[in-house]
Structure 1
Amino acid sequence: MSTRRHFLALGLGAAGATALGLAGCGDDDDSAGTAAGNGGKDYTGPKVTLNLWNGFTGGDGDIFKKLVDTFNGEHANIAVTVATYRWEDYYAKLPGAVTSGNGPDVAVMHMDMLATFAARKVIAPVDDVATALGLSENDFAPTVWKGGLYKDKRYGIPLDMHPVGLYYNKALFQRAGLDPAKPPQDRAEMEAALAALKGAGIQGFWISPFQFTGGMTAYSLVYQFGGALYNADATKATFNSDAAVEAVSWLRKLVTDGHSPADVGQDADYLALKAGQNAFNVNGIWQVNDLKKSPEVQWGVAPVPQIGSKRAVWANSHNFAIVQQKRTDANKVAGAKVFINWLSQHSLDWAAGGQVPARRSVLEDPKFIALTEAKALSAELPDAAFPPATPGIGDVTNLFYTAFNEAILGKKPPKQALDDGVAKADKLLEDNRKKYGD
């Protein structure tokens, strides 16, 4: 679950922010983003070796490396070497490596980290890649495409989108007299299913007080109820709005009404689903392959039900970025663009690793459509509620998860917990504007 490790890494925010604060690295101009070449269509220069960093430490890493090997086999003048680190180590290590001249040429980066690294000049604009290849919003899901922008410049070429979905235990459905082929799609159906499960002696929806995965469920519902974590320009936190309070209160009520234990341990919600104790678990698409390793578990996955007034879901995206260098090598930059474009076009195999491809052409490929679970969750692409492209936003969002934790555990009423979290978040947003010059 390499994606989860990224978010646990954001919990180390202070260390990461300190490392980034020391960065200030790379050339002051955009020479790395406008280097010689044709933006990724092809490369005819001398042979170059590119170092690529990523955080794919799980099974997805094996799939990624196979794709890189295929690319290398097809390109005699470009050799890509892969260095893999845990996400928390990767993000902390990258700024210092770039400053010392030992950074990679290409980096895989989560969408919510692009603005932070762009502000510190760790990564370079890639607008010319998109322009030369004729890439536009029409080639990708709009939410994913727009997420790669920071201050009107593009810093990421999207590879995928990984949302949360609703996993459900079909055996428990049958025990409660529910149709295992019909997971709930809205609030009424969800509440009816929970009542039926409770009648059969089953606590149907265990709510984890941790970011994984109760916090991500709450994040989704805040937007479903018409709220948002931040205002339009991300200068103020708004996760104490009436909509946000209603969303968190709905989840808290699942605990007080007995649909969930009062204090669910980290990962216990997911393990209980597999063990036949928990009927529902909102979790990431990356769990699909893990569940496939347990043939004894009767399970299904569907889009997160619409509990509020509109559809919305937590999601993130892996993007390719070109790293700033002390001295720009135009040939390496040109070769890096060819690699980024190639892997974006060949992301069907990547989807098998537990991701939704970002590129429309791959989404429409019959081979992707045959990936039943990923195809089901690809329906959530238009509903993805990504965090704003604001430096340091990950640390701020952690304060929402802390407030959610306090509310679900009953340490504070939902309104008070969220109010307290917003007060801290607004202060951190102000500090980040000073730190990153936004």
Structure 2
Amino acid sequence: MSLDNLSRRRVLGLGLGALALTGCGGGGGGPRQAQAPASAAPTAYDGPAVSLSFWNGFTGGDGPVMKRLVEQFNTENPTIKVAMNVYEWADYYAKVPAAVTAGQGPDLGIMHVDSVATNAARTIVLPLDDVATALSLTEADFSPPVWRAGVYKGARYSIPLDVHPLGLFYNKKVLSKAGLDPDKPPTTGEEYLTALETLKKAGVQGHWATPFQFTGSMQFGSLLYQHGGQLFADDASVSRFAEEPGVQALTWLVDLIAKGYSPKNVGQDADFLALQNGKAAFNWNGIWSINTLREVEGLEWGVAPLPQIGAKRAAWAGSHQFVVFRQRRPDQNKLTAAKVFINWISNHSLEWAKGGQVPARRSIRDGAEFQALKEQAAIGSQIDDLYFLPSVAGIGDASAVVDQAINAAVLLKKSPKDALTEAAAKVDKILEQNRRKYGA
């Protein structure tokens, strides 16, 4: 899971879940190109035959799953032909804005939720309030955090497909050898530190503290919210991560090294590999790890919600969300067909869950078939405890600076307080620049 595997990735967002947009044409300050809003979205299409271009970055094991869903949709909807184009996520986020600006963009696609606001500000994606209204989709059909994350300046620009949270992955053999119960992973901060101490006495460094965004920054964010803090003010007017909860969260991570529970200078993805080869007992990683671990021969593992280290439950998560792209010559039939496709995939997201995701739609998550996917269901039980970045344009630029602070602290180059304080000063300037760039 190295950074050069920016393919499926575990770009699940850059910067604590936010993907900084690159290669975009134009800023948010220029005139908006008018486009009439689409009519209400039906659940079936009865217009003339249309072809839809559907772009995404599902280049990993999730790609074949989406391909099969598209093929099934095409079979069941003969007047709509959906053609799926797949790119590395980094290339995707460069290609899409350029293609839309040139009038050659796809009809619809997938975006990580942290990129939606930036693309909305740049008029790359269209509002989708009519989809939610016509299909009677409400916050109750999803979960409050993931539903609200797709709203920018009072308008909805995306429809949630899934969420992909962090979970606690554990090596059962390592726990057993240390005398710990392999079927009862720790659930509290006290239990977690007790387990790490027991593992240390058995010669195992149980939790390898990684300084990299995947997944060190995600771990920091989870701990920050567990301690009652947040990364930014709700409107992203100022940073909040350098306040006391942030210092507590980052100190907890750094103390793993000081207490001997983690080696120093953990390399990119070395923590995940250590779990697989028996050198670590625990790894806080994303739900996308499930299918990877299933393929490791002889590995006995489990996954549970993150332990509650702070005063409340919280976990980092990303979310894939459907978007519809602006066109120079809007085609009402294509817009209607695109929304039929979005609704169809959402209603068939149980298959998507098998690819290693948590369906965003509550009716799918609550069903017996999803609950039978015990690993996905375990991570999915955190659904109402997830946090997302504020839906503010350019937020990825700011969160990338937080990644740098975490890296410096975990590599023991700066104290947690100093690293966060210095980063906050830089981030506040970026947030101010973004307000001028995209509008308040």
TM class, shorter-length: over 0.9
Spell out the pairing of 1:138-177 with structure 2 (5 A cutoff): 138-177=140-179
Aligned length: 434
Spell out the pairing of 1:163-242 with structure 2 (5 A cutoff): 163-242=165-244
TM-score normalised according to structure 2 size: 0.95
Return the alpha-carbon distance in structure 1 between the equivalents of residues 125 and 171 of structure 2: 43
- 1:268 is matched with 270
Tell me if the contact between 1:23 and 1:122 (Cα under 8 Å) persists in the aligned partners.
no
Return the alpha-carbon distance in structure 1 between the equivalents of residues 139 and 215 of structure 2: 30
Return the alpha-carbon distance in structure 1 between the equivalents of residues 237 and 354 of structure 2: 38
Return the alpha-carbon distance in structure 2 between the equivalents of residues 437 and 74 of structure 1: 44
Secondary structure of the residue aligned to 1:3 is coil
Return the alpha-carbon distance in structure 2 between the equivalents of residues 344 and 25 of structure 1: 34
- 1:132 is matched with 134
Q: Report the CA distance shift for 1:140/1:274 in structure 2 as closer, same or farther (over 3 A).
A: same
Return the alpha-carbon distance in structure 1 between the equivalents of residues 16 and 241 of structure 2: 19
Q: Which whole-Å deviations, capped at 9, do the CAs of 1:51-92 have from their partners, x for residues lacking one?
A: 011000001000001000000000011100001011111111
Q: Which whole-Å deviations, capped at 9, do the CAs of 1:198-236 have from their partners, x for residues lacking one?
A: 010110100000011111111100000010000121110
Tell me if the contact between 1:218 and 1:251 (Cα under 8 Å) persists in the aligned partners.
yes
Q: How far off is 1:434 after superposition?
A: 1.4
Secondary structure of the residue aligned to 2:403 is helix
Secondary structure of the residue aligned to 1:377 is helix
Q: How far off is 1:400 after superposition?
A: 0.9
Return the alpha-carbon distance in structure 1 between the equivalents of residues 355 and 240 of structure 2: 35
Secondary structure of the residue aligned to 1:123 is coil
- Structure 1: give runs of 5+ residues left out of the alignment: none
Match of 2:34 among 22, 25, 29: 29
Tell me if the contact between 1:40 and 1:339 (Cα under 8 Å) persists in the aligned partners.
no
Q: How far off is 1:246 after superposition?
A: 0.5
Return the alpha-carbon distance in structure 2 between the equivalents of residues 394 and 264 of structure 1: 25
Secondary structure of the residue aligned to 1:289 is helix
Higher helix fraction (1 or 2): 1
Tell me if the contact between 2:168 and 2:283 (Cα under 8 Å) persists in the aligned partners.
yes
Q: Report the CA distance shift for 1:10/1:356 in structure 2 as closer, same or farther (over 3 A).
A: closer
- Identity, in percent, stands at 52
RMSD value over aligned CA atoms?
1.8
Return the alpha-carbon distance in structure 2 between the equivalents of residues 428 and 231 of structure 1: 14
Secondary structure of the residue aligned to 1:29 is coil
- 2:253 is matched with 251
Secondary structure of the residue aligned to 1:80 is strand
Return the alpha-carbon distance in structure 2 between the equivalents of residues 13 and 180 of structure 1: 36
Secondary structure of the residue aligned to 1:349 is helix
Return the alpha-carbon distance in structure 1 between the equivalents of residues 192 and 417 of structure 2: 24
- Structure 2: give runs of 5+ residues left out of the alignment: 2-7
Match of 1:367 among 366, 369, 384: 369
- 1:113 is matched with 115
Return the alpha-carbon distance in structure 1 between the equivalents of residues 15 and 93 of structure 2: 8
Q: How far off is 1:334 after superposition?
A: 0.5
- 2:65 is matched with 63
Secondary structure of the residue aligned to 2:10 is helix
Secondary structure of the residue aligned to 2:65 is helix
Tell me if the contact between 2:19 and 2:115 (Cα under 8 Å) persists in the aligned partners.
no
Spell out the pairing of 1:48-59 with structure 2 (5 A cutoff): 48-59=50-61
Secondary structure of the residue aligned to 1:7 is coil
Q: Report the CA distance shift for 1:341/1:27 in structure 2 as closer, same or farther (over 3 A).
A: farther
**Is residue 78 of structure 2 the alignment partner of residue 76 of structure 1?**
yes
Return the alpha-carbon distance in structure 2 between the equivalents of residues 55 and 380 of structure 1: 25
Q: Report the CA distance shift for 1:20/1:296 in structure 2 as closer, same or farther (over 3 A).
A: farther
Spell out the pairing of 1:274-293 with structure 2 (5 A cutoff): 274-293=276-295
- 2:330 is matched with 328
Q: How far off is 1:331 after superposition?
A: 0.6
Tell me if the contact between 2:141 and 2:363 (Cα under 8 Å) persists in the aligned partners.
yes
Tell me if the contact between 1:316 and 1:386 (Cα under 8 Å) persists in the aligned partners.
yes
Secondary structure of the residue aligned to 1:19 is coil
Q: Report the CA distance shift for 1:265/1:202 in structure 2 as closer, same or farther (over 3 A).
A: same
**Is residue 98 of structure 2 the alignment partner of residue 92 of structure 1?**
no
Match of 1:4 among 5, 10, 14: 10
Letter in 2 for 1:29: A
Return the alpha-carbon distance in structure 1 between the equivalents of residues 312 and 112 of structure 2: 26
Spell out the pairing of 1:293-308 with structure 2 (5 A cutoff): 293-308=295-310
Q: Report the CA distance shift for 1:388/1:13 in structure 2 as closer, same or farther (over 3 A).
A: closer
